[in-house]
A and B are shown apart, each in its own frame.
Chain A
Amino acid sequence: MLTKKQLLTKGLLSVAPHMFSVIPFGIVCGAIGIELGFSPILVYAMSIIIFGGASQIVFLQLLSGGASTLIAVTSVGVINSRHLLYGAVLSEYLEKLSFVKKLLISYLVVDQGFAESNKFFQKNKNEPYLHYHLLGSGGTLWIFWQLSTLSGIILGSFVPEEIGLKFAVPLTFIAIVVQDLKKLDHVIVMITCGLSSLLFFDAPFKSYIIISPIIALFVAALVLRLKK
């Protein structure tokens, strides 16, 4: 059995490699907000209130481009709706927590933290303090997101555009799913999702980010039926 502290540390270490994409992305997010003419306090407050990288950038870009607040808010909701899926997966492991603890830990559910903690949970179902892993992964991502957006706001984008660190974002997620390429059913689901995302890329409100997972999950259901 692992102690709370060990789980917290494991969670922290599991997301450490993802800082290659989180930090540059946070800097860009802060710097873009200032470039678009928003006040520093407002840009930073988003990192606490929304705490979701892609949705923060889209929100500011839409508003500065003259879109209505309704459209901007809707886009944030659509982009972040994928968390509903993460929550559905994690609920199995967080079942025993008190209601208040569930409310608090939910705030820390983000892409990379979900991905790494979910992997750990699958292999360690019987640990009593599993949620400390999520606390470690989500908490680490939260802290570095705050620090990196803040430095982007204060210093501007000091990472030169030419070195293309934005490419670290897809690489991070490749690192998360690459082991599942060993399983044919997962490969089918991944290709479905990826092709759908390119097909629906221009759909309104950035909805490709939730349309393609829904299509891919339908295909997953079909694959499961065929496997039986």
Chain B
Amino acid sequence: MTWSSIIIAGIITYFTRMTMVALVDRDLLGERIKAVLAYVPSAVFPAIIFPGIFINDYGTFIEMNDPKIFGAIVAILVGYFSRNVIATILSGLFSYWIIIFLL
């Protein structure tokens, strides 16, 4: 039972990856849709970022003085100016750790 549901879930997931790449002819998409698709990263990733910062493990909102907010602000500033992915991630993690372990 669990096995068959994993396999079905796997097939569905594969179809979400494959359909637009292999089955849908790109020419079917109009110019306007193509222009909107340029926003896909900006339209998708905040749905991972915001809950990852503002909602805790128990599904409730964090306090406004939560160290994750500070870490995220540091990461955004460092990322914005350094243009460096590693620096962005590490500055966020370290500033978060400094608050939870040292303060």
Q: A: which residues have CB within 8 A of B?
A: 17-18, 20-21, 38, 42, 45-46, 49-52, 55, 59, 63, 69, 72-73, 76-77, 80-92, 94-95, 99, 102-103, 105-107, 109, 111, 115, 118, 162-182, 185-186, 189-198, 201-202, 208-209, 212-213, 216-217, 220-221, 224
- A117 CB, nearest partner CB in chain B, Å: 11
B18 pairs with A198, CB closer than 8 A: no
What are 8 A-B contacts with C-beta separation under 8 Å? Answer: A17-B89, A102-B18, A107-B17, A109-B21, A167-B92, A168-B93, A196-B47, A198-B55
Partner of B39, one of A38, A59, A166, A217: A217
Partner of A87, one of B7, B17, B42, B92: B17
Q: B: which residues have CB within 8 A of A?
A: 1-10, 12-14, 16-22, 24, 26, 29, 32, 34-55, 59, 61, 68, 71-72, 75-76, 79-80, 83, 85-86, 88-90, 92-93, 96-97, 100
Report chain B residues within 8 Å CB of A83: 13, 16-17
A189 pairs with B88, CB closer than 8 A: no
B89 pairs with A50, CB closer than 8 A: no
Partner of A174, one of B5, B6, B59, B72: B72
A201 pairs with B21, CB closer than 8 A: no
A77 pairs with B42, CB closer than 8 A: no
Report chain A residues within 8 Å CB of B19: 84, 87
Interface of B is mostly: helix
A-B contact count (CB 8 A): 259
Report chain B residues within 8 Å CB of A164: 96-97, 100
Report chain A residues within 8 Å CB of B5: 63, 69, 72-73
Most central of A81, A95, A107, A171 by chain B CB within 10 Å: A171
Alpha-carbon distance A113/B19, docked complex (angstroms): 18
A198 pairs with B92, CB closer than 8 A: no
B18 pairs with A87, CB closer than 8 A: yes
Partner of B88, one of A171, A185, A201: A171
- A91 CB, nearest partner CB in chain B, Å: 5
Report chain B residues within 8 Å CB of A217: 36, 39-40, 43
Name the residue of chain A whose CB is nearest to the CB of B54.
Answer: A198
Report chain A residues within 8 Å CB of B61: 198
